[in-house]
Amino acid sequence: MGFSYTSTVEVPLPEVFAWHGRPGALARLSPPWLPGKVVAEATSLRDGQAVLAFPGGLRWVAQHRPEGYDPPHRFVDEVTSMPFELFGWRHTHVFSEAGAGATRVSDEVRTPVPAALLRSILAYRHRQLADDLASHSRGRPWRAGPMTVAMTGASGLIGSALAPFLTTGGHEVVRLVRGAPSGPGERHWDTDNPAPDLLDGVDAIVHLAGASIAGRFSERHKRAVLDSRTGPTRRLAEVAASAAGRGRGPSVFVSASAIGYYGYDRGDEVLTEASSQGDGFLADVVARWEQATEPAGGAGLRVVRLRTGIVQSPRGGVLGLLYPVFLAGLGGRLARGQQWTSWTGIDDLVDVYYRALLDPALSGPVNAVCPQPVRNYEYTAALARALHRPAVLTVPGLAVQLVLGPEGRREVAEASQRVEPKVLLGAGHHFRYPELEPALRHLLGRAIT
C-alpha cells in the first residue's frame, strides 16, 4: 500500500533540498503529538541513519539508501528496526521545480499505516517546511549570512524547537551546558563562575535557562525560581559584556522573560510593553530577572527581553498537561473560566526569538504573545473542538490549590493577563497562527488537510 502528499513552497529547489540535509530537519518535521523523540539524525541524506525513540524502549531506525539519492531531486529512507520493519516503510522524498523560485515537494510512502494517520503527519510536515522556509526568508534582509548563537536551556521546551530551527537555516548553535560537554557543539557553563572565554567567537546569545515555575509555591520552590534566574543571568550578561569589550563576543543578548511582570490579575486592562509592573511574587521575579541583563546593555549589546505567555505545545507546558486530559474527554474550564490567557504557539515563539536575534530595531521588553488573547473558557472550548471532545467539566479552584498552594493558585493557575504584542504589531511582525484554534489544530494533528 502507498500514500503520497504534495505541496508547493515559494523557495528555489536547491534551497529546499539543502534545508532537508542540515542538522535539525528531522526535529522540525516530527509531529509534536506523536510519542517519538529524535535521538539521532542522519548525517547524510545519501547513506545516513536517523533514530527515533518510542515508549517501551522501541527504536525507529530509518536508513537512507544510496541508490535513491539524486540531489537535489530525491532521497529515500527505509525503516530497518523491528517491529516497525514489519510496516515495510519506504519513504521517497521528491523535489522538482514548480515555476520561477518555487519547488514542488512530494512525499511518497509505501506502508500499511492507515492513510488518515499519514495524511495528518505529512500535512504537518509540509506546513512546517513552508513556514520555516518563509521565516528564514523574512530574516535575510537583516542578515544574509550564517551566525553563531550560544544558547542556554537548549534542551527545554523552547530551546528544543529553536535550536533545530536555527541549524536548518544554516546557523550554528553552541549549547551552553552545566555538565561535561559531549561534543564540539557544547561548552561547559558554570552558572556560579562562568569561564571568561565562554562566549568568545559567538555572534549572539539566547538565554532560556531557569527553574520551572510549575510546582507548589513553597519557600524552597520560590527561592529556586528566583535564584535560577537572577544570579546566572547577571553573570552571563557580565561575561557577554567582557567578551564584547574585547571584540570577541556577541553583539546581541536575547533573554527569556515572562508576562508575569504585569502581575497576576489586572482585570480587563490591555497590557503593553509600556504597562507598569504588577503585584505578586512572579512580577518581582521577572523584574529582577530583566534587571540582571543590564551589564550586557551597559556594554553596548542590543538586549531583548521576550516576555513570553502560555506556550502551546503538546510536548510540554500547559498544553502538554491538558492534551491527554481533554483527549480522554475529562477537560473543562478552571473555576468560572473568566481569566485571560495570553498564549503563543511554539513555532510563533521560535519566529519571535529569530526576529529578536536579527532585527536591530528590537530591544528592551517585547511581549512574545499572539495578538488574540482568550478567556479560559474560550481556551478550553477551542481545545475541546480541536480534539472533538466535550468540555463540560469544571476544575474547582480548591483542587488546584491543594496542588500549588494558595499563592501558586493565584499566580499561576488563575493568573489573568490580557497582553498585547504592541511592539511586534508595530513592526509588522508575521504570525503563523494568530488565532488559537488553528494553532491548536496544527500542533495536535487536527488541521484540515
Q: Does residue 128 fall inside a structural domain?
A: no
Residue 184 has pLDDT above 90, yes or no: no
Q: Does residue 143 fall inside a structural domain?
A: no
**What is the rounded (10 degree) CA torsion for 197, 200, 205, 209?**
-20
Domain boundary among 95, 115, 135: 115
Q: Does residue 228 fall inside a structural domain?
A: yes
Note whether 79 and 223 are same-domain residues: no
> Whole-angstrom Cα distance, residue 425 to residue 272?
11
Residue 448 has pLDDT above 80, yes or no: no
> Whole-angstrom Cα distance, residue 413 to residue 37?
29
Cell of 6: 504534495
Domain with 297, as residue range(s), is 148-443
Q: Does residue 140 fall inside a structural domain?
A: no
CA atoms within 13 A on the CB side of 234: 11
Note whether 168 and 239 are same-domain residues: yes
CATH code, domain with 12: 3.30.530.20
CA atoms within 13 A on the CB side of 30: 25
C-beta of residue 391 within 8 angstroms of C-beta of residue 331: yes
Q: Which helix (H) or strand (E) holds 306?
A: strand 302-308
Note whether 347 and 292 are same-domain residues: yes
Cell of 376: 479560559
Q: Determine the average pLDDT of the residues in 50-68.
A: 95
Note whether 433 and 357 are same-domain residues: yes
Q: What is the pLDDT of residues 133-163, one digit of tens each?
A: 999 999 999 998 999 999 999 999 999 999 9
Q: What is the pLDDT of residues 336-351, one digit of tens each?
A: 899 999 999 999 999 9
Strands laid side by side in the 302-308 sheet: 186-188, 172-177, 148-152, 204-207, 252-258, 302-308, 364-368
C-beta of residue 8 within 8 angstroms of C-beta of residue 98: yes
Residue 156 neighbours by CB distance under 10 Å: 17
Residue with grid cell 510563533, as numbered in its chain? 348
**DSSP code string of 330-371:** --EEETT--SEE-EEEHHHHHHHHHHHHH-TT--EEEEES-S
Note whether 195 and 99 are same-domain residues: no
C-beta of residue 273 within 8 angstroms of C-beta of residue 342: no
C-beta of residue 128 within 8 angstroms of C-beta of residue 161: no
- 327 φ, ψ to 5°? -60, -30
* Contacts (Cβ under 8 Å, ≥6 apart) of 137: 11
pTM summary value? 0.96
Note whether 191 and 286 are same-domain residues: yes
Note whether 341 and 243 are same-domain residues: yes
What pLDDT score does 42 carry? Answer: 96
Q: What is the pLDDT of residues 76-132, one digit of tens each?
A: 999 999 888 887 889 999 999 999 999 999 999 998 888 888 999 999 999 999 999
> Whole-angstrom Cα distance, residue 79 to residue 278?
54
